[in-house]
Structure 1
Amino acid sequence: MNPLNRFVQQSRDAMKLDFGAIIDGLNRRHGNDKFRLVRRNGAMIETVPSIGALNILKYLFTDAEIVNTIWPLLHNLAAIYRNPFQQHIFSQLMRFSILEKVVSDRREIDQFFEHNKQHEKIRRMPLFWLQWHMAKCSSGDFLAAENLLEQGYTEARNLESTARKKFDRRQLDDRRAKFLMLRAATTLREGADLFRDFKEACELTEKVLRQDDPQHYPFETLKGIVHAFNERSHRLLDVHRPIVEQWIDTLGNYARRRFGMLPRGYQTGAARAALQESGFPPAD
C-alpha cells in the first residue's frame, strides 16, 4: 500500500476539511478520473506514487502556501487526543528534516516555528524546540540554536515537575553533542572553550550510548566528534590535545562494544558506516 494513501475520515479529522468532497469536485470539473494527482477510491484518498508528494509540493506550491497549510494542521492535531495515525502525522510534520525538503525560504521556515510557538501545547514540547534549534543550525545561527536547545531542556524539566516522571533526554543530549561539534568545526572557537566543548560532547555521547535500547544516532555523533577533532585539533592548547584524543579513543572503543546491542537492519547498517568512518570499525 502506498504510504501516502489515507482514509478520507482520518484526513478530515486532522485538517477539519472534507477532502473527499474536494477531490470529488475536482473530478467532476475535469471529467471522472481525469484529475490524477490525488484521487478518491471509496473511503481512501490515493496519490500517484510515480509523481510523489515531494514533487507535488515543490513544483505546484509556494513555500508560504506549504507553511500556511501545515501549521494549522499541527494546531488542530495538538488540540486533540491523537490516535497512532494522527500522532505519526503530527511528529512527521513537526520535523525540520522534512520541512526543509519542500521549504527553502528562511523567512518562511521561521514563520513555521513562530506560528507553532503560539500554541501552548506545542510550546510545552521539548522536541518542538529541538526542531527549531536544528533549523537555526542549518542557517548557521549558532547563538539562537543554543538558546532554543536550552529551552528544550527547560521544557523537559517543566514536564518532569508536572508529570512526576523522568523525561527521556536522549534526543536532546545527542543533539547537544552534535551541536557542539558542528559549531567547533565551523567557527573559530579555540583553547579552553574548545576543550570544554569536546569534553561535554564526549560525555554526552557516552551517556546516550550507555542507555538501554541503543540506536544508530550516537554512533553518527561519534563520527562528528572525530571530524571536528581532525579539523580543529590545531586550535586546542598543546596540553589539551592528547587528552581529547584519549577521550575520543575511549569513546570509540566503547561504541564498538555497544554496536553488538543494536537491532539488525537499518540501525546496524547506519552505525557500522559511522564507526568505519570514525576509524573504529566493528569486529563483526
Structure 2
Amino acid sequence: MTSPEEAAMADKPAIDNPWQTLRQLTPARIALGRAGSSLTTRAQLDFQFAHAQARDAVHLALAIEPLAKRIQALGLECLSLHSAAADRQSYLQRPDLGRRLDEASAERLQAYAANHPNGFDLAIVIADGLSALAVERHALPLLEHIREQIQRENWTLAPITLVEQGRVAIADEIAETLKARMVVILLGERPGLSSPDSLGLYFTYAPKTGLNDASRNCISNIRQEGLGYPLAAHRLLYLLREACRRKLSGIQLKDEADMPVLDQATVQQRNFLLE
C-alpha cells in the first residue's frame, strides 16, 4: 500500500515543512522543506549563494579613500594606516601581522602623537577585519551615533584611524601611541551564512600593547537585521562611563545598560514573540 506521504510526493515532489510560516520572521535556515531525503533545489541554491557572499566578504578590499572622505565630511580628522600584513593573503594566514602596524604607519602615528603630547580621552579605530562589507555599510552611521554620545560627555577624541588588514589588538598599539585613555575599534566580524555584513565593536580601557581579549568588552552583530546603531551606541556609552568610574574593562566590566524604549520610527526590527 502507498503511504499518505508517498501519495503526496507523487503529486508534489517537494514537501513543505509545517514551520514554513515562521520563515517570514527570521533569517535562520528553518523549515527548508525536502525532496525525498534531500534539500529542495531552492534551499540548496540559497545555501550556495549565502556561502559565496560570505567568501566574497572575507576577500573584499576596504575602500579606504572614500571612507576617509566621508569621515572628514563629518568634521572629523582622519588618519589612514596599514598593518604589518602586506596583503589579504598574509592577513588571513598570519593573524599576528594584523595585530600590529607596519613600520611606515607606526612612524607616522608617532610623529602625530609627538605634536599632541597631552593625549586624548578616546581613540576610535576602524579596520576591515574579516568583512570590509560590514565596515562600508555600518561603520559611518554607527560612528555618527557614537560621536553624538561622546560630545555630551565632553571627552577629547583622537583622529579616527582607518587601518587596512587590521585585527582587534592593533587598536591597543594605536591608542598607546596616541596616549588615549580608552579605545574603541569597529571592524567586520567573521561572516556567517545569514550575515556577511555584521560589524563588531571592541572597547578597552587603559590600552597597551600585549593585552589579551580578557581586557576587552565586545558588542557584536551591529547591522540593520541585528543590533541597531542607536542601541549599540547606547550600550557602548554605558561601558565607557563605567570604565571611567571603575578604571577597568573586560571580564570585570559587565554590560548592564538599561535598554531605552524606542519609538516606532527608530525600531530596527520587532520581536514577533512580543507582538
TM-score band, normalised by shorter chain: under 0.3
Instruction: Give 1 or 2: higher strand fraction.
Output: 2
Question: Greater helix share, 1 or 2?
Answer: 1
Higher relative contact order (CA 8 A, sep 6+): 2
> Normalised by the size of structure 1, how large is the TM-score?
0.23
Q: How high is the TM-score relative to the length of structure 2?
A: 0.24
